[in-house]
A and B are shown apart, each in its own frame.
Chain A
Amino acid sequence: MSDDQAIQVRDLHKDFGEVYAVQGISFDVHAGEIFSLLGPNGAGKTTTISMLSCLLEPTKGDARVFGHSILGEPIAVKAAIGVVPQEIALYPDLSARENLNFWGKMYGLRGAPLRQRVDEVLEIIGLTERQKGRVSKFSGGMKRRLNIGIALLHKPQVIIMDEPTVGIDPQSRRNILDNVKELNRQGMTVLYTTHYMEEAQELSDHIAIMDQGKMIAYGTHEDLVQIVGELDRIDLTINAESARVIEEWQATAGVHEVSAEDGNLTLLVDDSNLVLPRLFESATQAGVRITSAEIQEPNLEAVFLHLTGRALRD
């Protein structure tokens, strides 16, 4: 393992009976980078980071965190990482400060260093003024921030964040993304899971795309977008789902992929300026009305569509 590798994952498997949640993934996370695991719900992201957090034992394979095996040295691995779980895991009947004090002790902090670090973390997450308030009285965004703050208490070398922005308002989401970037700027390695393509795109140095327990693509944002070349993505909404019009569009010159769900269609095309008029014409002939159309430059959504035939939101 080279010095710049924070996490090294090799042939990691996890089975739950007949369910193969993770099927032999391998990747490296370099020290000091933000690495995202991108994929839809059920792709195996949470199972992967549960194994890296030593919560689940792999069925096969191993991973090393700063040289420590998750199988052989779980306590050393746990000391090196800070985990932000997807669900808010706090004690609602304790105050913010009491929560931080308790979790700090679990990471081995005591006395003055603990008090000082709790003060620092309260400052980082912007809860100094509300430190004595019961968590049960906090807003969703405040709870999310405290949820992250706990993982920062022991100044971990790697912070693992499992979809930390799920179910929160745009302002809190923005705040969390800025926090992640700031932590990374201070030298912390971040392993981030998300099913939001924009978050992975904005934050990540490297991205691994997961689907159905497998890693289907890996690289920088630019590397991944190259997979779909210069294809444009067109998102269309039609007033009635029509198998006939979808078949016609799939056969239209310049169209590479079509996926449909509840009247929302996503198409990968060579040149949207040329293809779009043909789509409108086919729709008119089939008696279908296009109610909205949006053209996007090549992105990770298009990559996922290209690789799986399904949209990331599916």
Chain B
Amino acid sequence: MKVLDIALKDMLRSFRSTFALVMMFVVPLMVTGIMYFAFGGLGGDGGGFDLPVTRVQVVNLDQPALHSGFSAGQILVEFLQNEQLADLLEVTEGADETSARAAVDDQEAGVAVIIPPDFTAAVTAPEGSATITLYQDPTLTLGPDIVKGLLSQFVDGFAGTRIAVGVVTEQLSKRGVEIDAGLTQDVVMQYAAWAETLGQSQSGGAHPALDIQPPSSETEPSNQGAGMIGAIMAGMMIFFTFFTGASTAETIIREDEEGTLARLFTTPTPRVVILGGKFTAVFVTLIVQVIVLIFASAIIFHIRWGGPLPVALVTLGLVVSATGLGVLLMSLLKSTRQTGPVMGGVLTLTGMAGGLFTTGFQNLPAAYETITLFTPHGWAMRGWKAALAGGGAGDVLLPAAVTLGMGIVFFVAGALVFRKRFA
């Protein structure tokens, strides 16, 4: 009972502190709100999320003369100019590679796409290879990433063509039939026509290389942005949960300095109960913080966090790891003069190492992804991303278990240090 009395007293003090409330609830939502606003979320129709249009200059150097009637380069240009991409891309054709690169350098275009002369030959030959050059404005991230994704999708589509040509060639060769260029061309054209028909039937008339999903509800247009905002919000929530964990655990040091901890030790209350009460306060405060942030962000930013069970599992892992790290961190410090700089430094570093501030970036180096695995933040982020993507309990089990395990190890170590200090 005394454990709860101490926990409630600590929570009452925390929730009366304007600074604590701002850091717990306002700042994470505000930072996410700034991102939301920066990406046009507040300016779009119906509060949706609008990506900025990326200007693309395409230079088609493809020379399909030897394969009359079929030009993979031209198909790619038309694909990029597809009207369904008009909200994302503004595509113009450039005369040559030099002028296209100059357009990017002068910021007249965000991305230049250079289709090589042997593109058609490469996509139709079984062992063919060609490189599409993508030259981008280094200050942009989202637009070039979208173009890169579309090009990858397009080129992948032609892999099927190659396989078809390979299979036909092998089968006919077994029957002693010689394959000439005309026959290869026929196979390519027939496969392309079939793929296009199939794609149109599956995607409501869109180009087969495009995976444009129709909206399923009124809020659907914001899904792509909401996904990104969800990841940003998750990053902020994780960072500030760890901050609150350390900040609430700091009350042990503050009470030691204020003399109230010593006074508590003069009451007929075992020391383990006193420390247990203070640890409980950290845990419950973090639970409240995460729940409030989840509901508030769902209302404000329309973030769909996922099913109740995966969200509960990831929340548990996050809260336990933030409690554990907070207790461990504070157990190693002697005075509140140390806590501010150490808390700021350690939590920012671990947050960065855990990938909390790079949630909007794609294709991060593999080494960086590996580093994130060494921090509870990184695992928590994995858990939330899985939950945000609609994953089930099985998908979040590993990150939740790892954060839980890390948290328990941190907590036990911190509690032992505190126990020794106040023995």
Contacts and interface: CB of A to CB of B under 8 A. Distances in A.
Chain A complexes with chain B:
yes
Contacts of A89: 258-260, 262-263
A202 B270 CA distance: 37
A105 B262 contact: no
A309 interface: no
Contact of A87 (B13, B259, B266, B268): B259
A276 to B, nearest CB: 47
B2 A106 contact: yes
A78 B269 CA distance: 9
Interface residues of B, number: 20
Interface in A61-100: 75-76, 78-79, 81, 83, 85, 87-91, 93-94, 98
B268 A93 contact: no
A94 B259 contact: no
Contacts of A55: 262, 265-266
B213 interface: no
B2 A105 contact: yes
A118 to B, nearest CB: 14
A107 B262 contact: no
A55 B17 CA distance: 30
A79 B268 contact: yes
A105 B8 CA distance: 12
A85 B262 contact: yes
B337 interface: no
Contacts of B265: 54-55
Contact of A102 (B9, B16, B259, B270): B9
Contact of A93 (B1, B17, B263, B267): B17
A102 B17 contact: no
A20 interface: no
Contact of B5 (A79, A83, A102): A102
A53 interface: yes
Contact of B267 (A76, A85, A91, A107): A107
Contacts of B263: 83, 85, 89, 103, 150
B422 to A, nearest CB: 10
A94 B12 contact: yes
Contact of B268 (A85, A90, A102, A107): A107
A83 B263 CA distance: 8
Contact of A81 (B258, B259, B266): B266
The residue in A79, A81, A106 that gathers the most chain B C-beta atoms within 10 A of its C-beta is A106
Contacts of A107: 267-268
B266 A105 contact: no
B125 interface: no
A76 B270 CA distance: 11
A66 B13 CA distance: 37
B121 interface: no
A42 interface: no
B260 A94 contact: no
Task: Report whether over half of chain B's contact residues are helix, strand or loop; otherwise say mixed.
Answer: helix
B266 A93 contact: no
Nearest to A88: B259
Interface in B318-348: none
A108 B5 CA distance: 11
Contacts of B259: 85, 87-89
Contacts of B264: 106
A117 B266 CA distance: 19
Interface in B247-266: 258-260, 262-266
A28 B356 CA distance: 63
B260 A53 contact: no
B262 A106 contact: no
A205 to B, nearest CB: 24
Contacts of B1: 105
Nearest to B423: A57
Nearest to A150: B263
B382 to A, nearest CB: 38
A150 B263 CA distance: 10
Contacts of B17: 93
A93 B19 CA distance: 13
Nearest to A108: B268
Nearest to A50: B262
Contacts of A75: 268, 270
29 contacts: A75-B268, A75-B270, A76-B268, A78-B266, A78-B267, A83-B266, A85-B262, A87-B259, A88-B259, A89-B259, A89-B260, A89-B262, A89-B263, A91-B9, A91-B13, A94-B9, A94-B13, A98-B12, A102-B5, A102-B9, A105-B1, A105-B2, A105-B5, A106-B2, A106-B264, A106-B269, A107-B267, A108-B268, A150-B263
List of 9 A-B pairs having minimum Cβ-Cβ separation, nearest first: A89-B259, A106-B267, A89-B263, A78-B268, A79-B268, A83-B266, A87-B259, A105-B5, A53-B266
Given A75-B270, A83-B266, A107-B267, 12 more contacts: A55-B265, A76-B268, A87-B259, A89-B262, A93-B16, A94-B12, A103-B267, A105-B2, A106-B2, A106-B264, A107-B268, A108-B268
